[in-house]
Amino acid sequence: MAAPSTPAAPDATHLAYKNTDQLSVTLKEPTSFKLLYFPIHSSGATTREILSIAEAKWENLVPSDWEKEKEKTPFNVLPVLFITSQTNKDIILAEAAGVIEQYLAKQFRLMGCNDYEENLIKSFHSSTASLHSLHATTVAFIPDRDARKRAMEVFRDGPFRAWVTLHEKHLRDNGSNGYYVGDKLSLADIRTANFIEHMNLQTGGQALYDIINISPCLRKLCVEVAVDYKISRWRSSQAYKILTTATDHYFSDPFAPVSKL
Amino acid sequence: MAAPSTPAAPDATHLAYKNTDQLSVTLKEPTSFKLLYFPIHSSGATTREILSIAEAKWENLVPSDWEKEKEKTPFNVLPVLFITSQTNKDIILAEAAGVIEQYLAKQFRLMGCNDYEENLIKSFHSSTASLHSLHATTVAFIPDRDARKRAMEVFRDGPFRAWVTLHEKHLRDNGSNGYYVGDKLSLADIRTANFIEHMNLQTGGQALYDIINISPCLRKLCVEVAVDYKISRWRSSQAYKILTTATDHYFSDPFAPVSKL
């Protein structure tokens, strides 16, 4: 995995609707991936960590002028995942990070051991992704920094604390072993750890991180994700560190000129 | 399927984590379902329509005092789906309508013909569910009615129109046949049709419905969903009509005393 690079993204204005049996083979037998996303962690973080765990062949693509390029994505939003196989042209997965993450997690055995565990994992994944979205909608993009700090306090003392309480309960119910389901890493664990890291890079986020530090099960979950050998290797990379710096910089002023992306 | 009834909901405070192979059998061989949700359409609508299409044995459960009962749900939110089989105690699916809808849609063959189609359907489903959430977060619960109307205009002229444009494009790409994927009904079609009906019951929603009426592909989609024999039968039922009246009433004043739920 290289540092964020900027080869042009394939045109993804239209999705494919024909020969879907053949396209399904690509989903089952992918040879490499390209993730088109802004050069920050945020909604790209979990996909990048799954690809790292899978030791997949993948690269970051970064929009050079998003306002112009967004018309060339299926839903005018990022991330978009391009999936390459030996026999087909690239397949596009798009719309929500959740769709991409669930496909990759299933492909790389991070969705539990059976259908029931898969549904449990999807529930925790959805709960965390919803809270991330709520933060994005109600806090992250408030232009005035002081108003944003106040909104973050409301978010912290309302939905964030409620989420912590519920997730501590469920993690305790699974034996306080640092995993949501069973005794091995899943999509849900990775998504939650990434969300917590994401909060830590937000205006007023340190106070949320402090809450996690006195929440033993979520804290253990973050440790379990961090000590995974392949995730640890990815997080130690130069590419990851560049993304962290850029994420911190971006969310301290989300209204700086878009060109910096 | 009977009218909304109010038998007590099972305690769903804790999720099951043991014997998950056995619990997976229940997911694959369910005998009946109970949907715990408020007695309105909203985030219960798609689940109810899937269960109607499946001709499944199911019933509505309604909280009698939600503020007290929400602690007994896994994530303090509704809907919650209870799944019964011959051999196991009830299984709980919870957190987000999306998790429930995707499980039921897969079970009842509303997720396309292969993995690729399933992922397409998930993308459209996610796109529409996200817009529904955005409306709930930024419009539906603004206390002042005039301010809510203004927020609805911003929603209409921004994200709603953008969504219409994109979904018209994708529906055209699939041949303007009224389906997102292939030539048969899927979860994505049902979810979008329900979202459009939901908008029509909101403050200022008529103007959004008018936009759909001049958007040929989305309009055709709504027709295709409505003419499905089993959906049509469900929508003609007394239970459905009661839900429609209650939904209309609820969203005209979301801050009326909770007891009416």
Verify that A128 and A211 share a domain, yes or no: yes
Residue A165 contacts B, CB cutoff 8 Å:
no
Nearest CB partner across the interface for B115, out of A14, A27, A75:
A27
A250-A256-A260 Cα angle (round to 5): 70
Residue A107 contacts B, CB cutoff 8 Å:
no
Among chain A residues, the shortest Cα distance to B104 is held by A119
**Per-residue pLDDT at A165 exceeds 80:** yes
Determine the average pLDDT of the residues in A143-164: 95
Verify that A143 and A88 share a domain, yes or no: no
Judge: A133–B138 Cβ closer than 8 Å, yes or no.
Answer: no
Residue B159 contacts A, CB cutoff 8 Å:
no
Verify that A136 and A182 share a domain, yes or no: yes
**Alpha helices in chain A, H assignment, sequence order:** 20-28, 45-53, 66-69, 97-107, 115-135, 145-155, 161-173, 187-200, 206-213, 216-227, 229-235, 238-252
Going by C-alpha positions, the residue among B174, B162, B172 that lies closest to residue B208 is B162
Tell me the pLDDT of chain B (261 aa) as tens digits.
Answer: 444 455 678 888 999 999 999 999 999 999 999 999 999 999 999 999 999 999 999 999 999 999 999 999 999 999 999 999 987 678 898 888 899 999 999 999 999 999 999 999 999 999 999 999 999 999 999 989 899 999 999 999 999 999 999 999 999 999 999 999 999 999 999 999 999 999 999 988 999 999 999 999 999 999 999 999 999 999 999 999 999 999 999 988 887 654 444
Q: How far is Cα B133 from Cα B191, in angstroms, rounded to an integer?
A: 13
Judge: B24–A115 Cβ closer than 8 Å, yes or no.
Answer: yes
**Are A43 and A78 in contact, with CB atoms under 8 Å apart?**
yes
Question: Which of B80, B108, B136 corresponds to the end of one domain?
Answer: B108
Determine the average pLDDT of the residues in A96-100: 89
Rg (CA), chain A: 18
Judge: A124–B95 Cβ closer than 8 Å, yes or no.
Answer: yes
Tell me the nearest-neighbour CA distance from A241 into chain B, angstroms: 31
What is the CATH number for A126?
1.20.1050.10
Verify that B99 and B186 share a domain, yes or no: no
Among chain B residues, the shortest Cα distance to A126 is held by B96
Going by C-alpha positions, the residue among B261, B227, B246, B254 that lies closest to residue B45 is B246
Residue B19 is which amino acid? N
Determine the average pLDDT of the residues in A131-159: 94
| Cβ burial, residue B223 (10 Å; 0-12/13-18/19+) | exposed
Task: Let me know if residue A239 belongs to a domain.
Answer: no
Verify that A121 and A212 share a domain, yes or no: yes
DSSP B247: H
Say which residue the tokens 């379990």 belong to. Answer: A224
Q: What pLDDT does A6 receive?
A: 58
Q: What pLDDT does B5 receive?
A: 53
Verify that B119 and B218 share a domain, yes or no: yes
Judge: A20–B124 Cβ closer than 8 Å, yes or no.
Answer: no
Strand partners, A61: A36
Render pLDDT for A55-87 as a digit per residue (tens, 0 to 9): 999 999 999 999 999 999 999 999 999 999 987
Q: Which residues in A lie closer than 8 A to residue B182 (C-beta atoms)?
A: 17, 20
- CB within 8 Å of chain A, chain B residues 171-210: 173-175, 181-182
Task: Let me know if residue B104 belongs to a domain.
Answer: yes
Q: Which helix (H) or strand (E) holds B91?
A: strand B91-93
Tell me the nearest-neighbour CA distance from A248 into chain B, angstroms: 25
Residue B33: Cβ within 10 Å count = 21
Question: Which of A108, A127, A144 corresponds to the end of one domain?
Answer: A108
Q: What is the ipTM of this complex?
A: 0.93
> Which residues does A186 contact at the CB level (< 8 Å), separation at least 6?
A105, A110, A111, A112, A117, A121, A179, A180
Task: Let me know if residue A9 belongs to a domain.
Answer: no
Q: How far is Cα B254 from Cα B107, in angstroms, rounded to an integer?
A: 34
More confidently predicted of A160 and B94: A160
Task: Let me know if residue A236 belongs to a domain.
Answer: no
Q: How far is Cα A161 from Cα A178, in angstroms, rounded to an integer?
A: 19
Render pLDDT for A222-246 as a digit per residue (tens, 0 to 9): 999 999 999 999 999 999 999 999 9
DSSP B5: B
DSSP A92: E
- Which residue segment(s) compose the domain that B37 sits in? 20-108
Q: How many CA atoms lie within 13 A of B91 on its CB side?
A: 30
